[in-house]
Amino acid sequence: MILIGELLNSTRKRVRAALETRDAAFVQDLARRQTDAGVHYIDVNTGALLDHEVECMQWLVRTVREVTDRPLCIDSPNPEALAAALELAGPGTLINSISAEARRYEDVLPLVRKHQAPVIALGMDDEGLPEDADRGYAVLSQLITRLERDGVAPANIFADPLVRPAGANTAIPPAVLDVIGRIRAAFPQVHISGGISNVSHGLPARKLINRTFLTLAMSRGLDAAILDPLDTVLMSEIAAAELLLGRDSFAMNFISLYRAGRLEEKP
């Protein structure tokens, strides 16, 4: 699994305050703890600071870079902020995100090409978020095909079926799981990613819902996720799922995590 740490997100109140006051200690602590938890990318999001986002993103990238060499995942709706961050963040940076919306596709594709960067490809177009599996699959598969035609290597595409709250519409998560399975079958070389915590928004026992959804999605072919890497039960379940999906020879990773006291089994 490719893990993308979600905690440095400006929609979180405490993070937003840290960005506004340029609280480097707070930001660097979250960057370090996510690194120690084993993430492959650290998401940096400044979208909530609309009026001075570019400057804020630049500060955030520099501040995180001081304490970790883990690649970043630059998360912004603003192409200028993406561009500025990509100049600073170094090679291997993941772009979050492109979509099939006409304007966004045109704005972000040049950045993907210039930096030869991996990119999260959101399965939505100008008609909005697909509600059923057929349209979800159609939009996302067409976006993948278009990116490949535009020169993006399959291994650089992180297809994202847009995980949305079960509480708002219980038909959406099963549709998203269907899309994951169909994309995995049709495009074996692309990554499939999703923002896991979205699924539990508005419901109780959110961590229970998040980890269960992640495991269901891994079973269908998801191999990357934006998540809270400090949720040790979630991380334990990922290790178990990797073992049970045949990706941990002789259970060596699972057993070494257990010996290091990093697996949480039961209440």
Sites of contact with a second copy (CB under 8 A): 166-167, 170-171, 173-174, 177, 199, 203-209, 211-213, 215-220, 231-233, 236-237, 240-241, 243-246, 248-251, 254-255, 258, 263-267
Q: Strand 41-45 relative to strand 72-75: parallel, antiparallel, unpaired? A: parallel
Nearest 5°: phi and psi at 174? -65, -35
**225, two tokens:** 């996720």
Among the listed residues 156, 154, 150, 223, the one whose alpha carbon sits nearest the alpha carbon of residue 192: 223
Among the listed residues 186, 127, 191, 203, the one whose alpha carbon sits nearest the alpha carbon of residue 153: 191
- Our CB check for a second copy shows the closer of 50 and 171 to be 171
Sheet holding 2-9, edge to edge: 191-192, 157-160, 119-122, 94-99, 72-75, 41-45, 2-9, 224-227
Among the listed residues 112, 45, 43, the one whose alpha carbon sits nearest the alpha carbon of residue 71: 43
Alpha helices per DSSP H over the chain: 13-20, 24-36, 53-65, 79-89, 102-115, 133-149, 172-186, 206-220, 232-244, 252-259
- Our CB check for a second copy shows the closer of 63 and 197 to be 197
Q: How far is the CB of 131 from a second copy (least distance, A)?
A: 13
- Our CB check for a second copy shows the closer of 105 and 213 to be 213
Q: How far is the CB of 15 from a second copy (least distance, A)?
A: 21
Q: How far is the CB of 231 from a second copy (least distance, A)?
A: 8
- Our CB check for a second copy shows the closer of 77 and 181 to be 181
- Our CB check for a second copy shows the closer of 62 and 247 to be 247
- Our CB check for a second copy shows the closer of 91 and 204 to be 204
Question: Vertex 216, ends 211 and 222: CA angle to 5°?
Answer: 95
Q: How far is the CB of 136 from a second copy (least distance, A)?
A: 14
- Our CB check for a second copy shows the closer of 60 and 166 to be 166
Which amino acid does the sequence have at 17? A
Q: How far is the CB of 228 from a second copy (least distance, A)?
A: 11
CA–CA separation, 201 and 178 (whole Å) = 20
Helices 172-186 & 206-220 angle (0-180, nearest 10):
30
Q: How far is the CB of 112 from a second copy (least distance, A)?
A: 31
Q: How far is the CB of 151 from a second copy (least distance, A)?
A: 34
